[in-house]
């Protein structure tokens, strides 16, 4: 299958007034088209740095990043980013928020507007198109934020702990919604989380990073029988085996 993201021997040093921080060491990872990959690792190990490098927000100190090898140099516009806060602007309606990425890219064509309206409709937000974000539930806001990200038709979606501001019940429901939309749109996604269950329930593969400087400790392919939605996947018989392996791997002393 076509590779969308390819990281080869990525290293990253941050230079600050107080000295040098080695964040990443020798990170190699390929993500195929339509794949959902999660990255887990200890707090501060370099997870967000990996996403920043894929998004070209940070330059790697060494190694090579390739986004859609056949479209070199166009990687920048093809990245969709979703963060913990939904960053919806309170003074814009849901539809205006969803169109914002296109407006900023001077790309608000009729076709793109149609795509946004279809997405709003498909994912049950059309009734709220003229509503303001504060009239929406937390889950609906995250859905609106995802639609804004999808509006630019990105090749890859980067999700940096997008559910961590939500309470547990909402979080379960929203991760089901977000997973459904991403799979339904056949998008490639990379999710950073420190929640092992969330990683297993949502992903085709889970990448475990070591503590800083992050190296790839292990990559698990997740195979769950009768797999459906993330909620249903949590009930699969193999789930607890993966959980135990990942938990041990994360808490192992090096
Ligand atoms: P994680 O997302 O796994 O918690 P980060 O990627 O945010 O970790 O950070 C990894 C390390 O790099 C941390 O020690 C952090 O303090 C440092 N770091 C992250 N961003 C910067 C930056 N812009 N400048 C300097 N140091 C940074
Ligand atoms: Mg982070």
CA of 47 to the centre of ligand 2 (A): 6
Q: Pick the atom of ligand 1 nearest to 46's CA.
A: 6
Pairing of the two strands 19-32 and 3-16: antiparallel
What is the pTM for the complete model shown?
Answer: 0.93
CA of 23 to the centre of ligand 1 (A): 7
Superfamily of domain covering 3-251:
P-loop containing nucleotide triphosphate hydrolases (3.40.50.300)
CA of 49 to the centre of ligand 2 (A): 7
Domain spans of the chain, in order of start = 3-251
pLDDT, residue 75, reads: 47
In the chain the first and final C-alpha atoms are separated, in Å, by 35
Nearest CA to ligand 1 atom 1: 44
Contact between 219 and 41 under an 8 Å Cβ cutoff? The reply is no
Burial class (CB in 10 A: 0-12, 13-18, 19+), 82: buried
Q: Measured between alpha carbons, how far is 219 from 239 in angstroms, rounded to an integer?
A: 16
Nearest CA to ligand 1 atom 6: 46
Nearest CA to ligand 1 atom 12: 23
pLDDT, residue 39, reads: 98
pLDDT under 70: residue ranges of the chain: 1, 70-77, 253-254
Nearest CA to ligand 1 atom 21: 14
- Ligand 2 being an ion, which residues bring their Cβ within 5 A of it? 48
Ligand closest to the CA atom of residue 52: 1
Q: pLDDT for 147-187, tens place per residue?
A: 999 998 898 999 999 888 888 888 999 999 999 999 999 99
DSSP characters over 32-77: ETT-EEEEE--TTSSHHHHHHHHTTSS--SEEEEEESGGGTT-GGG
Give residues (CB < 6 A) around ligand 1.
14, 16, 21, 23, 41, 43-49, 212
């Amino acid at each position: 299958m076509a590779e969308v993201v390819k990281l080869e021997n990525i290293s990253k040093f941050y230079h600050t007034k107080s000295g040098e921080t080695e964040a990443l060491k020798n990170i190699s990872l390929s993500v195929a088209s339509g794949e959902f990959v999660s990255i887990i690792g200890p707090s501060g190990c370099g997870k967000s740095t990996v996403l920043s490098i894929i998004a070209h927000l940070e330059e790697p100190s060494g190694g090579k990043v390739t986004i859609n090898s056949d479209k070199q140099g166009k990687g920048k516009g093809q990245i969709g980013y979703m963060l913990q806060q939904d960053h919806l602007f309170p003074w814009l309606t849901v539809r205006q928020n969803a169109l914002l990425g296109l407006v900023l890219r001077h790309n608000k064509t009729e076709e793109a507007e149609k795509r946004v309206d279809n997405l709003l409709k498909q994912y049950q937000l059309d009734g709220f198109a003229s509503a303001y974000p504060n009239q929406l539930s937390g889950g609906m806001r995250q859905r609106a934020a995802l639609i804004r990200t999808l509006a630019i038709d990105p090749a890859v979606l980067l999700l940096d702990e997008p559910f961590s501001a939500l309470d547990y019940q909402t979080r379960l429901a929203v991760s089901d919604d977000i997973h459904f939309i991403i799979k339904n749109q056949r998008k490639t996604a990379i999710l950073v989380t420190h929640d092992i269950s969330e990683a297993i329930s949502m992903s085709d593969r889970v990448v475990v990073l070591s503590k800083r400087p992050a190296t790839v400790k292990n990559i698990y392919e997740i195979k769950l029988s009768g797999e459906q939605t993330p909620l249903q996947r949590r009930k699969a018989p193999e789930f607890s085996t993966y959980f135990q392996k990942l938990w041990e791997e994360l808490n192992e002393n090096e």
